[in-house]
Amino acid sequence: MNIQTKITHTAAEESLLAALAQSEREEAAAVLEHIEDRGLPTRRVEAWHYTDLRTLMRNFPKAPKAIDSEFSSEGLSEMAELVDGFNIGFSNTSHVQGIVGDLPDGVAGVVGDGPITANPVPVKDDYIGQMNSALCEQGAILTVEPGKSIDTPIILAHTCAGETASVLRHKVSVGENASATFIERHHSSTIANHQNVVSNLFLEKGAKVVWVIDQELGVETTRLGQLNIVLGEEADLTILVLNAGGKLVRQEIHVAVNGENSNVAIKGVNLIGEGSHIDVTTTLAHNVPNTTATELFRNVVPAGGKGVFQGQIRVAQIAQKTDAQMACNTLLLTDESDFSAKPELEIFADDVVCAHGATVTDIDDNHLFYLRARGISERDARALLVKAFVEEVFEELDNEALGKALIARIENWLDLNA
Amino acid sequence: MIEIKNLHVKIADTDTKILNGVNLTIKPGEVAAIMGPNGSGKSTLSYVLAGKDDYEITEGDILFNGESILEMSPDERAAAGVFLAFQYPLEIPGVPTMNFLKAAMNSQRKARGEAEMTTPEFIKAVKGEASKLGIDMVMLKRALNVGFSGGEKKRAEILQMALLAPKFCVMDETDSGLDIDALKVVSEGVNALRSPERSFLVITHYQRLLDHIVPDTVHVLYKGKIIKSGGKELALELEENGYADIIGEAA
Ligand SMILES: Nc1ncnc2c1ncn2[C@@H]1O[C@H](COP(=O)(O)OP(=O)(O)OP(=O)(O)O)[C@@H](O)[C@H]1O
Ligand SMILES: [Mg+2]
């Protein structure tokens, strides 16, 4: 038996333990004990190897309260609109916007602090999910009726104002042959706050969903996000991720492909600014035969940022005819920039097509010279090449307005940061 | 227009010397052709003129309208009127050709203190030049040179040249990759640009191009040096006899 010596807690761990001690969730006790004994995950925990939370997480702001006079919808109105849609807004932990009764026809919803949905997808070293279940205050529970096709995007808008933690958990179920677009938006002030939002998404047979994660947090915000999805038969899922802010960001996406003839496409752009640490960790579990998945991330790290991509594809022994392709391409613009990519294939079936590729490059000098030889200044030529590199990801989306809006956000960010 | 004076060039950060004292003067309105065996330094000379920084100039100077351009960046040279049609045009994924053309034209205008083109003006200009060169506008919606055939790339280079209206045009083996009809179309495009104010440096291996674009002077580059100069008949002589005699004479 190992004799565990008590660890000395970091400041973040101390305040986290205090928050856990106050939590009324029954899940809190076990998490508290774990953190007390082991602390936050370090690089020695495999799933957190490139994002050593113990070192990187500097604080955990005071325990959130559901009702607090300083909470308002102010932060939400500062969020520039991405696309038209039905907004359900959360400021810190409070639901402040979007009357649930007004949801588009075919969508039912409640926002509340009732029992939380357990994570439907098993996740190894699931720090984010456990912390969320121990501290979560409330969230939206939305259901799309079978056969309904919802044209208006449903926007879950989150903002953090003040030095606080915001812990929310949503559940979205999309019925048989229904289709809908959901946009998770994350915004915060420049104060050091902490956001932990878990969304659990269920696609029934033949459901078609576009799920967007649009993150533009302030420079001091920590965000630990998790999107867990269960895919039914013939379901079609597109996930679009745009990370363009935050100090310490980990976005996990875990997909259990449980229905035959279903398809997943994940496309993402990570714009990693100076002083920012952005980690995207995905797992795709193909548990049945005849499913397809494509995953493409493009990353730009202009100066002094750190990026991480961990992409795992698991193909179960019975999951024959799986076709899964994963690519992660990074543009490092200076020597101070850093990116770690860890693609992982775990394949137990023999009749599958799986591939992954990870590249890290700088801007091609010959490309640069060609553009400059036509009179384009070095600065403009670089910007043109960087834009081209990332914008390709969101070109030719079915929803053109959404593609344009995401590209506009990218351009805006690059103008300011690259 | 252009005076290349005793130009010595080596590959930057190495001891590999490529040009060993090139002297060449091209007058306004003149079309000068450079010929020479593979590896003699023709493309190197074209890159050095355009300002590529893989090379180091160890001796000599390049004057453009009487002023040295050695300290100028590639984009400054372009705005001043230097244009290089590449031997191997680069494929640039994700940058639509039209966007690139507009950026290039407006960057040059901006650098010269001129007003930027409006979109309708720009589209009209591109349509006009593209149709002269037999280029389909659909091709220009695609990413710059990506998946263009060899001939399409060369036509696209000449389209850029026509739109940017440079003062000094360097064309590096523009004829390679062009079919017989395309060679004619492209040559006509180049001939239409000939004017008393514009000079050309045409690099080629074949007399065929020079039948269409008739040069005023022909120069032979060998081992980084011009070893013989003459009129258009020099190209015919080379076509007939190869380089052996001239190289022998020079040695
Ligand atoms: N970056 C480089 N490093 C090393 N050698 C180089 C480099 N660039 C050019 N060279 C060499 O310089 C010489 C001249 O090359 P260049 O491309 O200028 O020849 P060229 O006359 O254009 O030939 P061609 O007719 O085949 O196009 C060649 O021997 C070539 O290998
Ligand atoms: Mg050459």
**Tens digit of each residue's pLDDT (9 = 90 or more) over A65-121:** 544 434 455 566 667 788 889 989 888 777 777 766 688 999 999 887 766 788 899
Question: Which of A365, A378, A384 lies at the smallest CB-CB distance from B103?
Answer: A384
Whole-number Å distance, alpha carbon B176 to ligand 1 midpoint, is 17
% pLDDT > 70, chain A: 94
C-alpha triplet A314, A315, A320: angle, nearest 5°: 165
Domains and CATH numbers, chain B: 2-250 (3.40.50.300)
CA of A35 to the centre of ligand 1 (A): 63
By alpha-carbon position, which residue is closest to atom 6 of ligand 1? B11
Mean pLDDT of B170-174: 95
pLDDT level of residue A161 (50, 70, 90 thresholds): confident
Give yes or no for residue B10 CB within 6 A of ligand 1.
no
Distance from CA of B107 to the nearest CA of A (A): 5
Q: Look at residue B247 in the predicted model and tell me its pLDDT.
A: 87
Q: Across the A/B interface, how many CB contacts are shorter than 8 Å?
A: 78
Contact A385 B51 (CB under 8 A): no
pLDDT value at position A369? 98
CB A90, CB A166: distance < 8 Å:
yes
Query: What distance in angstroms lies between residue B9's CA and the mean position of ligand 1's atoms?
Result: 12
Q: Is B125 exposed, middle or buried (0-12, 13-18, 19+ CB in 10 A)?
A: middle
Among the partner residues A370, A375, A381, nearest to B108 by beta-carbon distance:
A375
Nearest residue on chain A to B75, judged by CA atoms? A375
Distance, in Å, from the CA atom of A48 to the CA atom of A60, rounded to the nearest integer, reads: 18
Nearest residue (by CA) to ligand 1, atom 28, is: B39
Tell me A204's DSSP state: -
Q: Measured between alpha carbons, how far is A310 from A330 in angstroms, rounded to an integer?
A: 13
Listed residue (A179, A2, A155) closest to A79, CA to CA: A155
Please state, as a whole number, how many other Cβ atoms lie within 10 Å of the Cβ of residue A178.
Answer: 23
Q: How far apart are CA B107 and CA B90, in angstroms?
A: 20
pLDDT at A392 over 80: yes
Of B84, B86, B103, which has the smallest distance from its Cβ to A376's Cβ? B103
Contact call for A373 and B50, based on CB within 8 A: yes
Task: Say which ligand is closest to the CA of B172.
Answer: 2
Give the long-range contacts of residues A19-28, CB within 8 A, separation 24 or more: A19/A60, A19/A62, A19/A63, A19/A64, A19/A135, A19/A165, A20/A134, A20/A135, A22/A63, A23/A63, A23/A134, A23/A135, A25/A116, A25/A133, A25/A134, A25/A135, A25/A136, A27/A130, A27/A133, A27/A134, A28/A134, A28/A135
CA separation for the pair A414, A276 (Å, rounded): 15
Nearest-neighbour CA in chain A from B72: distance (Å):
11
Contact B104 A371 (CB under 8 A): yes
Distance CA A71, CA A189 (A): 13
Does the Cβ of B13 fall within 6 Å of ligand 1? no
**Separation in Å, CA of A411 to nearest CA in chain B:** 14
pLDDT at position A63 is: 53
Give B 14-43 residues with CB within 8 A of chain A.
none
Check pLDDT > 90 for residue A303. Answer: no
Contact B164 A374 (CB under 8 A): yes
pLDDT of res. A69: 36
Whether the pLDDT of residue A415 is over 50: the answer is yes
Ligand 1 probe mutation, B42, B45, B206, most atoms within 8 A of CB: B42
Residues of B in contact with A371 (CB under 8 A): 92, 100, 103-104
- CA nearest to B95 within chain A: A388
Ligand 1 within 6 A of CB of B85: no
- Min Cα distance A300 → chain B (Å) is 15
Q: For residue B102, which residues of chain A lie inside 8 Å, CB to CB?
A: none
ipTM of the complex: 0.96
Given a cut of 80, whether residue A377 has pLDDT beyond it is yes
What average pLDDT does the segment B53-72 reach?
Answer: 96
Q: Kindly state if the Cβ of B224 falls inside 6 Å of ligand 1.
A: no
pLDDT of residue A363 exceeding 50: yes
Distance from CA of A303 to the nearest CA of B (A): 23
B42 lines ligand 1 (CB under 6 A): yes
Q: Please give the backbone phi and psi of residue A187, each rounded to the nearest 5 degrees, phi first.
A: -140, 150
| C-alpha of residue B119 to centroid of ligand 2, in Å | 36
- The overall pTM is greater than 0.95: no
Ligand 1 in contact with B16 (CB < 6 A)?
Answer: yes
pLDDT of residue A70: 44
